[in-house]
Structure 1
Amino acid sequence: MKITFICTPPNLSGGNRVIAIYADLLTEMGHDVTIVAQPHPHVSRKQALKRFLKGQRPQPRPEKSHFDNMKARLHLTPNTERITDDDVPDGDVVIATFWTTAYMVANLSAAKGRKFYFVQHHEIHNPLYSELGAASYRLPLRKIVVSNWLRDVMRSEYGEGDVPVVPNAVDHEQFVFHPHDKRSVPTVSLMYSGKLFKGMDISLKALDIVKKRLPELSLLAFGTIDPLERLPLPGYATYHKSPPQTDIPRIYAASDVYLFGSSSEGFGLPVLEAMACGCPVVATRTGCAPDAIRDGFNGYVVDIDDVEALADRLVRVLSAAPDVWKTMSQNAANAVESYSWKDSARIFAACLEEH
């Protein structure tokens, strides 16, 4: 098949990482794959000054992205506003990957291929575009989602009765389980984000409660931005900004439990990656967490925004006897052994061919 992914500007987001993985695996399977992406918009001095006066920090253009050094072709369009027929090769399949690109794909000619919408998140949480985000799911595009949670959202909110689920997976060559003992100092890891739906405020409140119960608590955090003034990390945190991908498994393996406090998440890839490294996970009931985690077996799942429950389950894992924790660690790794990117890519290709 000739397959085209329509994407936002290249970056290091988890969503773009998944697209890059599928683009390369589909290429290896013999398909002709192109990623068409918008370039990063130019910010004039006047715009930069306005943002500065509003207290907004300048956001440098990312020097690297998950689209670097791919087997699939990458085409950056000259237009920062939209992608049109002139930018997209004729083909069998064209795939929207974000709510803005869904509108672009809907307007492409039939020559560009059957139209799909690869949904990795429920994009309604920014008040500036929540209505447009929601309306994008009503466009006449065939949906593919990454979790049962998203499938249920598409069904209940938008009347989509038959949406295939293609779960994300784990690179088992990168995220490797090396059996190890519980840490001598109780240690939590998390991915830091300033996005409201990531639930960083909830996670930090839960950690405050845990710190009172376990004063020796340590936190390992990583992310792509500097911690925000409205969401400061506590003094007992060690922060890794934009760590190399090879360092992330070490962070998971150096912690007793991974904290995932999102209020809404299409999948939540760090949940699987932490588990693959033998790190039990305490998570909110969103994304892949309800599918991957069994309470008391390899972690815990609690209701969204339930600070007390998050804190309680964190304490349970951190206070577990060494042999109990080691069993949870092994169970976490075992639970995600079957998640394979190659298997998911085959399912993804089958969805494109069947519809």
Structure 2
Amino acid sequence: MSSRLSIAMFSIHSCPLGQLGTRDTGGMNVYVRELSRELGRLGHCVDIYTRAHDPRDAQVDHPSENVRVIHIQAGPVEDMGKMAQYEHLPNFILNMEAFSQGDGDRYDLVHSHYWLSGSVGLRFAHQWGIPHAVMFHTLGAIKNHLPVGEAESAVRLAAEKELVDGSQRIVCATSPEKAELVRLYGAQADKISVVPCGVDTDLFKPQDRIEARRSLGLGDGKIILFIGRIEALKGIDNLVQAMSLLKPQTDARLLVIGGDEHSQAEVSRLEDMTRQLGISDAVEFLGTVAQSRLPLYYNAADVSVVASYYESFCLVILESLACGTPVLSTKVGVAPAVIRDGQNGCLVSDNNPQNLADGLAAVLDSESVDAQLIRQSVLEYDWSAIARKIEIEYQAILASKNLTQKATA
């Protein structure tokens, strides 16, 4: 076993214990929670620093072995948007310093997630004299080239550039993201490591479809499943339009999982769209669902769909495939690396409604594929294997630090 490490993680804007599918909780939350859990199982100690957002939370939580989630107050203890949280970062830093007084000496490295966390994590890494690794999860410069969504701020772009230049290691989930870091931010390719995200193969696994549907009160017709935040970036409006193109050919229903009070306006708009298209009986918005129940939905579905304009990785793809359910996806995130047309799903060139409809029709009309064969395509992404790869990255960062110290001694 490798030497025991003590890691300070920062996930400021989004608590890893938060409800998935809400405004700022999604794949990054899963990543931080699952990675830290597996690192803890390997014997490493992980402290995850996040902003206090719910007065019901204890300041220090112990979600798994060797892992602490530490809620630091910064502004009102309530949910707030990312840029609002940015204004409270100085307060976060002050309260963090008070809480962690003396702790810096025991940390071996800092691993920050997202640019907000990186801005703070890099500061403490310098203060503590230890290396800093960052994972952006999404990149502002890429989002600003998309045809949907609000423009990302100059503050974010400047912070990402500072992190690219100042961090000892950048971890990204796919090779295309590495190329974009080099192209858009001038990152040094040799300090970028590609380590994919993972999937809990114990939780996400094949189940009997009939039993899954019975548990959820679903009927016998074809089911198309979308899971994710309710936002323009996900291309849900194009998916709804695709359903209207499919309706003459199939009785398939679309189940949409995700969203909270902050996305009600968008859900209402999408519901209005289904009525205007005459498919309100074929699309159902279910709101948030606990992660522990998601395997039931994946197993009940005939196909999961990712219609996004952009994903840095997309854990939904791995989760669905681990359950043995094929995926139709645009060419985003991990999709090109794992989806094989006719074997475990279908790739479409973009989220044009006709492309989505054609792809869904092809998957729904195809002969059933053995769920265990589909599952085999993602077993290498089990979180235990991903944690070991991250562990190797940590060791390489520390080895490089030691070599630098010897060279300057």
TM more than 0.5? yes
Q: Secondary structure of the residue that 1:252 maps to in structure 2? A: helix
- Equivalent in 124, 127, 132 of residue 115 of structure 1: 132
- Equivalent in 83, 101, 119 of residue 117 of structure 2: 101
Partner of 1:43: none
Partner of 2:299: 253
Aligned length: 329
Matched, 1:347 2:377: no
Partner of 2:231: 195
Matched, 1:220 2:220: no
Compute the displacement of 1:97 (Å): 0.7
- Equivalent in 43, 46, 71 of residue 30 of structure 1: 43
Structure 2 spans left out of the alignment, 5+ residues: 20-24, 76-87, 144-148, 214-218, 275-279, 398-409
CA contact (8 A) 2:31 2:198 kept: no
Q: What is the percentage of aligned positions where both structures have the same residue?
A: 23
Partner of 1:170: 199
Compute the displacement of 1:257 (Å): 0.7
Partner of 2:69: 74
- CA distance in structure 1 between the aligned counterparts of 2:368 and 2:373, rounded to whole angstroms: 10
TM-score by length of 1: 0.84
| Stretches (4+) displaced over 6 A | 62-65
Which residue identity lines up with residue 267 of structure 2 in the other structure?
Answer: L
Q: Secondary structure of the residue that 1:338 maps to in structure 2? A: helix
- Equivalent in 127, 134, 146 of residue 173 of structure 2: 146
- Equivalent in 268, 286, 298 of residue 229 of structure 1: 268
Compute the displacement of 1:137 (Å): 3.0
- Equivalent in 376, 400, 409 of residue 334 of structure 1: 376
Which residue identity lines up with residue 160 of structure 2 in the other structure?
Answer: Y
Matched, 1:276 2:322: yes
Which residue identity lines up with residue 332 of structure 2 in the other structure?
Answer: T
Compute the displacement of 1:288 (Å): 0.8
Q: Alpha-carbon deviations, 1:156-183, whole Å to 9, x = none?
A: 2223313212211221111112466999
Matched, 1:19 2:32: yes
- Equivalent in 6, 10, 25 of residue 6 of structure 1: 10
- CA distance in structure 2 between the aligned counterparts of 1:154 and 1:205, rounded to whole angstroms: 34
- CA distance in structure 2 between the aligned counterparts of 1:245 and 1:63, rounded to whole angstroms: 20
Partner of 2:406: none
Matched, 1:325 2:394: no
Structure 1 spans left out of the alignment, 5+ residues: 41-60
CA contact (8 A) 2:343 2:369 kept: no
C-alpha distance 331-306 of structure 1, shift in aligned 2 (>3 A): farther
- Say which structure is richer in helix: 2
Which residue identity lines up with residue 246 of structure 2 in the other structure?
Answer: V
CA contact (8 A) 2:51 2:73 kept: yes
Q: Secondary structure of the residue that 1:246 maps to in structure 2? A: helix
Partner of 2:81: none
Compute the displacement of 1:253 (Å): 1.0
CA contact (8 A) 1:20 1:70 kept: no
C-alpha distance 295-152 of structure 1, shift in aligned 2 (>3 A): farther
CA contact (8 A) 2:40 2:64 kept: no
